Chain A
Amino acid sequence: DSGVTQTPKHLITATGQRVTLRCSPRSGDLSVYWYQQSLDQGLQFLIQYYNGEERAKGNILERFSAQQFPDLHSELNLSSLELGDSALYFCASSTSPAGAFYEQYFGPGTRLTVT
């Protein structure tokens, strides 16, 4: 158990809908990262927050947004969903914004299926 929790575990929704994925980082970790894992694209970095502020952005679509709250949990909002958004979404946390030197701890993921 990494200490990172993600809810829900599975989510099935229809095209055009909006969903929110939630992540609670390990106790004491200030950085939260979101990754998308799909069969065709592999594991891709989406976005990072550090202590409530956006820190880095990767291949995140404009239809997707995220935020980190004062209690440090984070939410990833996906809207106008398309079939291609079906994927496993991982959250990771670390103690520092400099992830290169500090291990990122991954949650178990949320599997999103868009029908």
Chain B
Amino acid sequence: GDSVTQMEGPVTLSEEAFLTINCTYTATGYPSLFWYVQYPGEGLQLLLKATKADDKGSNKGFEATYRKETTSFHLEKGSVQVSDSAVYFCALSDNQAGTALIFGKGTTLSVSS
């Protein structure tokens, strides 16, 4: 079945450092890809998404490009802030089967000043 694999955390960075969180997927169809963020004590929020190959999703300085050839959707940010500390989830949704999100295990990011 479909699955998402993302890098194990925690990732610990200093403020203004460059961030990459790797995400690869396995899917039989043509999925849409998402990054969700979970701040402490809160629910998940959609950070960005891409619905077809070569699409780039971006939001709040974060970017990810849908790479069909490498089945990847790596999350990047050029300069992280302390407020970016959270758990980041890569997810996919099979466009043909519909609806539910399949999540990776999540990567904890901790940014210090």
Chain A residues proximal to chain B, CB less than 8 Å? 2, 4, 31, 33, 35, 42-45, 48, 55-56, 58, 90, 92, 97-101, 103-109
Please determine whether B32 and A42 come into contact, CB atoms closer than 8 angstroms: no
Partner of A100, one of B36, B45, B98, B106: B98
11 A-B pairs besides A100-B93, A105-B46, A106-B36 with CB distance below 8 A are: A35-B101, A42-B106, A48-B99, A56-B98, A90-B43, A99-B93, A99-B99, A104-B46, A106-B43, A106-B45, A108-B42
CB <8 Å contact, A100 and B43: no
Which residues of B come within 8 Å of A, CB atoms? 31-32, 36, 41-46, 49, 51, 89, 93-95, 98-106
**Whole-angstrom distance between the Cβ of A32 and the nearest chain B Cβ:** 11
Which residue of B has the minimal Cβ distance to A45? B100
**Chain B residue at smallest Cβ distance from A2:** B43
A100-B32 contact given A90-B43, A106-B43, A106-B45, CB 8 Å threshold: yes
Q: Which of A99, A105, A108 has the most CB of B within 10 A?
A: A99
Which chain A residues lie closer than 8 Å to B32 at the CB level?
100-101
